[in-house]
Amino acid sequence: MAQTMQEVIDNYGEWAHGGNVAETAVEWECCGFAPEQAAAWLDARCWDPGAAQELAAEGVTPEQAAVKVDADESYGYYVDTIGYKVSNGDLSVDEAARIADGTIVAFHDDLYYEGDYANGSDEEGD
């Protein structure tokens, strides 16, 4: 039997609902997500339904949102998923989409435009 939105949200614990399962379930539903879709975003640690909605609108999938981003002064001094960092406000949806599609790569405390470094160049534009 399929789970309700409240059951799905509750399964992930307090980090996913902030202590208010019912209100959080309504927020996911208002953003257009079915319970199994919300679960996919929560698996990616994307706890904010609005962030999930914006990521989806930019073509980012829950699987892409589950990719971990290194610690960086601009994107939070912690390693976590794209989904979490967008939910937490440490990574913009645009930046997340560019990381997800491979336009930029987040590593070693900085973001590099992949095309600029594809030839082994150590400086942008070389």
> What pLDDT is stored for residue 53 in this prediction?
98
9 within 8 A of 48, measured Cβ to Cβ: no
- The verdict on 33 and 68 lying in the same domain is no
Flag whether pLDDT at 26 surpasses 70. yes
Q: Which two tokens stand for residue 96?
A: 């997340």
Mean pLDDT of 111-124: 40
DSSP state of 4: P
Per-range mean pLDDT, top range of 39-48, 66-75, 106-115: 39-48
Question: Alpha helix locations (H) across the chain?
Answer: 5-11, 14-17, 21-30, 35-43, 49-57, 62-65, 82-87, 93-100, 114-117
Residue 71 domain-assigned (yes or no): yes
- The verdict on 114 and 86 lying in the same domain is yes
> What pLDDT is stored for residue 114 in this prediction?
43
pLDDT tens digits, one per residue of 47-60: 999 999 999 999 99
- The verdict on 89 and 116 lying in the same domain is yes
> What pLDDT is stored for residue 74 in this prediction?
74
Residue 54 domain-assigned (yes or no): no
Q: Which of 8-12, 61-65, 80-84, 106-110 has the lowest mean pLDDT?
A: 106-110
pLDDT: is 95 or 110 the higher one? 95
- The verdict on 69 and 117 lying in the same domain is yes
Mean pLDDT of 61-85: 90
- The verdict on 67 and 118 lying in the same domain is yes
Residue 26 domain-assigned (yes or no): yes
pLDDT band at 70 (very low <50, low <70, confident <90, very high): confident
Q: What range does the domain containing 89 cover?
A: 61-126
**How many angstroms separate the Cα of 107 from the Cα of each of 30, 32, 81, 112, 126?**
35, 33, 13, 8, 20
- In angstroms, how far is the first alpha carbon of the chain from the final one? 58
Q: Is the pTM of this model over 0.85?
A: no
